[in-house]
Structure 1
Amino acid sequence: MTTKKEFDLVEIFAGSPMDAEIVKSILLDAEIDAFLKDENIGTIAPWHAAAGGAGAVKVIISSLNMDSAKLIVEDYINNLNSDK
C-alpha cells in the first residue's frame, strides 16, 4: 500500500507587491513552488498593499516546503531590516 503525502497551501509572506514578487522569485530559484495571492489589489491600489495590511500581497507555498522556505523568507526580511 502506498501512502500519499498530504499538504496544505500556506502563506509564507505578506507585503507590498514588489517585496512579494521578490520573495516568490527567491523561492522559485530555490526550487520551491510559490505563487502570489491578492496581487491584483497591489496593482489596482498599491497604497493598500502594505506589509501585513488588509490588502497585502501574499506568497503561498506548499506546507511540505515550510521549513526551508521559512529560512529563506527570514533571511530576506533580515536583509531588508539591515538596510534601514
Structure 2
Amino acid sequence: GYGEESGTFTNNEGRIQAVRKFREPAFEARGNLAIFDFVAALRSQACQPSMQGEIFREIARLVPAYQGLTDGLGADGAFTT
C-alpha cells in the first residue's frame, strides 16, 4: 500500500520522484521487490539486481534518459532527458 515502501517513480512529464517509506504494512504482506523475487524463483530464475538502490543504478546505466542520475534525487526529483 501507499507509504509502505521506498523507491522511485517516473510520472507522465518525465519527472523522477523519490517516495520514502513512512509506515509499516497494516498486515503481513510482501513488498513489491519480494514479489518479483518470488515470481522469478518460481520460474527458477534470479531477479538481479533485487535491491531498490541497485535497481535504480542499473536503470541509470542502461537507459540513456536516466544516465548520470542517482537515487538520491532530493525533494524536487529530476527530469529525464
Question: TM-score when scaled to structure 2?
Answer: 0.26
Report the structure, 1 or 2, having the larger helix content: 1
TM-score (norm 1): 0.26
Q: Looking at secondary structure, tell me which structure has more strand per residue.
A: 1
